[in-house]
Amino acid sequence: MNVLDQIVAGVVEDLTQRMSETPLSLLRSRVVDMPPALDPMPAFREPGVAIIAEVKRKSPSKGELADISDPAALAGQYAGGGASAISVLTERRHFGGSLADLDAVRNHVDIAVLRKDFIVDPYQLWEARAHGADIALLMVVSLSDSQLADMLGLCDELGLTALVESHTAEEIGRAVDAGAKLLGINARDLTTLNVDRSVFAELVAFVPEGSVRVAESGVASPKDVAQYHHWGADVVLIGEALVRSGDPRTAIRRFIEAANV
C-alpha cells in the first residue's frame, strides 16, 4: 500500500463516521439555505499570477509545519496580501485539518474558498458546499472515469468549481475528457511524496487553451512562483512556504510581484 492508499483508507474511515452522524438529507437542507458559491475563475484569469494560499498545519512528508490556532486570522492575512482564493485542508489524520477550519475561514473572508481533501464520495461535495466551500479538489488518481464525470456533474449542480488535479499526461487527458476547466498539475507524486517542479513544465502543454492552469507543490521562494508562471501557470497554490514565512501577508505580495516582473 503506497502513501496515497494509506491516506485514502483513513479518509474513508473518517467519512463513514461523519455519514453516520450527519445524514445526507441534512447536508442537502443546509445547501438549500446557502448563498450561491463564489466563482473564482475571473480572478484566476486576470493577467499575472493568482495565488491560492493554503491553511496547512502539517503534511505526511514534513510533519508539523505550523501551529495555526486561528485559521480565520491566517486566511485574513492571506486575503490582505492579495490571495485570490484560500485553500483549507480538511483531512484530519495526516494534515491536521477539519471542517471546522473550513467554517472559520468561510465566515472570515469574502474571496473564494477551496476545500482541499481526498474526495472519493459525492457526500464530501455536499459537505464542502454545506460548509461554505466554493471550490473542491478532485484528484484524478483517486477516481475512475465514471466517478470523475459524476463528481464534476455534481459540482455543477452545487455551484462548486472543481479543481481537477493530475500528475501525469494520462491523468490530464482523463481530466480534459471529463470536462475539467480548472486543471491542477501537482509536482508532488502522492504515491511517493517526491516533489519535482519540472513535472509542471513537462505536462502543461497537455492542458488545452482556454483552461486555467494551476501549479501545485514545490514552492519555497518567490523565484519558484516566477518560474511556474514563466512555464505557463495562471495560478499557483502555496501552503508550506506561507505558513512558515512568519509574515504571510508580505510573503504573498512578494510571490505575486516576482511573477509579474
Q: Which residue has the cell 498545519?
A: 57
- The length of the chain, given as a count of residues: 261
Q: Of these residues, 84, 116, 127, 171, which one is catalytic?
A: 116
Q: Of these residues, 56, 58, 59, 142, which one is catalytic?
A: 56
Residue 84 is among the residues annotated as catalytic for this protein: no
C-beta of residue 135 within 8 angstroms of C-beta of residue 40: yes
Q: Of these residues, 58, 59, 91, 165, which one is catalytic?
A: 165
Residue 54 is among the residues annotated as catalytic for this protein: yes
Residue 21 is among the residues annotated as catalytic for this protein: no
Residue 186 is among the residues annotated as catalytic for this protein: yes
Round to whole Å and give the CA distance between 73 and 243. 12
Q: Of these residues, 91, 127, 171, 216, which one is catalytic?
A: 216
C-beta of residue 117 within 8 angstroms of C-beta of residue 11: yes
Residue 166 is among the residues annotated as catalytic for this protein: no
- DSSP structure string for 138-157: EEGGGS-HHHHHHHHHHHHH
Q: Of these residues, 59, 84, 87, 186, which one is catalytic?
A: 186
C-beta of residue 161 within 8 angstroms of C-beta of residue 53: no
Q: Of these residues, 59, 127, 217, 240, which one is catalytic?
A: 217
Q: Of these residues, 25, 54, 64, 260, which one is catalytic?
A: 54
Task: Name the residue type at position 91.
Answer: E
H or E stretch at 136: strand 135-139
| Four-residue CA torsion sign, 68, 12, 238, 37 | negative
Residues involved in catalysis: 54, 56, 116, 165, 186, 216-217
